[in-house]
Amino acid sequence: MGNQESPEKKIKSGVAMLNVLESWGIDHIYGIPGGSFNSTMDALYEKRDTIQYIQVRHEEVGAMAAAADAKLTGKIGVCFGTAGPGATHLFNGLYDAQWDHVPVLALVGQVASKAMNLNSFQEMNENPMFADVSVYNRTVMTPESLPFIVDEAIRKAYRHNGVAVVTLPVDYGFVDIPDLPLSSAKNHRTGLPLPDNKDILDALKLIESAERPVIYAGQGTRGAGEELIALAEHFSMPVVISVLAKGVLPDDHPYLMGSAARVAAKPGNEALAACDLSLFMGSDFPFARIFFPADVKFIQVDIDSSKLGSRHKTDVAILGDAKETMKRIVAMGNKRPSTTFLEANLRNRRNWSNWLKSFENSDEVPMRVEPVFREINRIATEDAVFVTDVGNVTIDAVRHLKMNGHKQRFTTSGLFATMGYGVPGGIAAKLSFPERQVFTLSGDGGFSMVMQDVITQVKYNLPVINIVFSNDSFGFIEAEQEDTNRQKFGILLQGADYAKIAEGMGAKGFTITHPKQVKEIFEQARESKIPVVIDVKISNQRPFPAEAMILDKDIYTENEIEAFKKKIYDRRDASSERAIEKIEKGVNAEVSLPGYTHGKQEAITNRPGKCMIKFIYRKR
């Protein structure tokens, strides 16, 4: 009788799965319950003290919030959807995670195993649906394998910085299985490749022979701001950043030219167009072939070998961590004195910054955006998080947010560029950083796609400051229609009182129609203990198209210049004509460089239709 074995400890398969999530540091999960997810909902109830279930009002919001979690923290985000429509609603957020290369786990409900392949209610063949978006995609086949598969899915999501999908037949989560230690979380390790010194030396040869070198820094340089500054200053190189790298450097650093392409600053575009060498650091910039000269010498640094040479003909490829690579380049390379090219860029940056700043105290009605950003910058704390939606608001945020380059964070939907990212990202930011100030910045188009989930912020007491820039238009698309010379169609929006809508959901709502209201309302928003929606009624002014200026009389005919002005004036008021007059004077003035011997003067262009600053630089 003394040889009887003790009974094996049992646990519900669904609870065992959540134990795996908990072991990986996951403390909240987004979704909407349904019949095909009931076993997991039972498990979430049992684990409610350690894993918080966040009830969103649309699965798309949950998936985008999970992606934002991953972007902001580096930790995997988790969401779920039930069989059928709950699953299909996840795609927008999952593709955002895929395109911006962050780990997300999606749990997808399925009908009971005995009802599968019988054309049951809401049954879909979900596995092939998620094949394209995922790096790992499995349907659980037994209750015992459920926690193992979820553990493997998390490992794969981290390994490939992508989306892992696990489909769960609902009956499996109710089954008792042996309570075994299945998590591999304690064994999880991360590492980055170190650069080869031979590649560093090859890069230095190009840097030292270049006359107009530029650094293009992507999100791979996040956490390496000091090294990026040291690199720029050591070699006297201006820095252009990707949108996703916003905040890596302080926005007031003189070497920072801003971003490039359309979501851009004028100095950033012109620095790229004029450069003869690009040090392309930790970026997957999709427009590199367009905004760099075709014959530019190209040095690319990335931790993913599949990215090397994918965006531009590359002369030197360095497989390595950006931070370590920048350290070695500085340590192994000779310091470069300041050049006329750098000085021209610095002056160009000052001209542009002064032009932007000149509108901060504008009293125009309908309002410009600059007085609003002035107040955002004024009340923002040193560790504030900025979540930016997609559209004209992205351009405005990249240009006007003055981030400190230290603790403040910026996130948006980058390569996928989905509208509706703001509110979900705000939920994620406040859950991940409950003690930090969180702003969401949205246009009325993007906000109205997901505004129902302001009620989620209210439900979970997330005092986010949501700012809506209402211009009654899909303004970014309106500008595209202007640029393609097609008739504008389908872009005007029916206006709404978003402040009243917010109040109806339990948030504080404010409407701003005049610059005199801005300071007082932002003060109230700063002190609010509940979510706030500030609806700012702005004029339908296109952010100045720095990527497509037609103003330089040495490059364009008078007719071309007048046609460009007319296009911009068509939806601007008379006071905005004065704005273009200001930039004409500031942009096209020749750059004189005291203290330098003037070399050859060139108006540098890289293709027709793009207006570039006139650099005066000294030939080496």
Active-site pick, 55, 122, 452, 517: 122
Q: How many CB atoms lie within 10 A of CB 427?
A: 32
Active-site pick, 32, 102, 165, 390: 390
Q: Is there a contact between 458 and 530 (Cβ–Cβ < 8 Å)? A: yes
Active-site pick, 56, 59, 138, 393: 59
Sign of CA dihedral 565, 568, 569, 570: positive
Which tokens belong to 407? 């603790």
Show Cβ contacts of residue 50 under 8 Å, excluding neighbours closer than 6 positions: 22, 27
Active site residue 477: yes
Cis peptide bond N-terminal to 366, omega within 30:
yes
Cα–Cα distance for residue pair 106/139, rounded to 1 Å: 12
Residue with token string 């000779």: 334
Active site residue 480: yes
Cα–Cα distance for residue pair 602/614, rounded to 1 Å: 6
Active site residue 262: yes
Active-site pick, 480, 482, 503, 560: 480
Which tokens belong to 417? 């560029």
Cα–Cα distance for residue pair 247/132, rounded to 1 Å: 31
The continuous run of DSSP H or E covering 502 comes out as helix 498-504
Active site residue 154: no
Q: How many Cα atoms sit within 13 Å of 234 on the Cβ side?
A: 20
**The residue type at 109:** G
Active site residue 476: yes
Show Cβ contacts of residue 609 under 8 Å, excluding neighbours closer than 6 positions: 548, 550
Which tokens belong to 577? 């004509």
Which tokens belong to 62? 């949950």
Active-site pick, 476, 544, 564, 615: 476
Which tokens belong to 142? 């037994």
Active-site pick, 212, 262, 399, 409: 262
Active site residue 59: yes
The continuous run of DSSP H or E covering 447 comes out as helix 444-450
Active-site pick, 8, 48, 121, 562: 121
Active site residue 550: no
* List of E strands, 420-553: 438-443, 465-470, 508-512, 532-537
Cα–Cα distance for residue pair 383/500, rounded to 1 Å: 30
Catalytic center residues:
59, 121-122, 262, 390, 476-477, 480
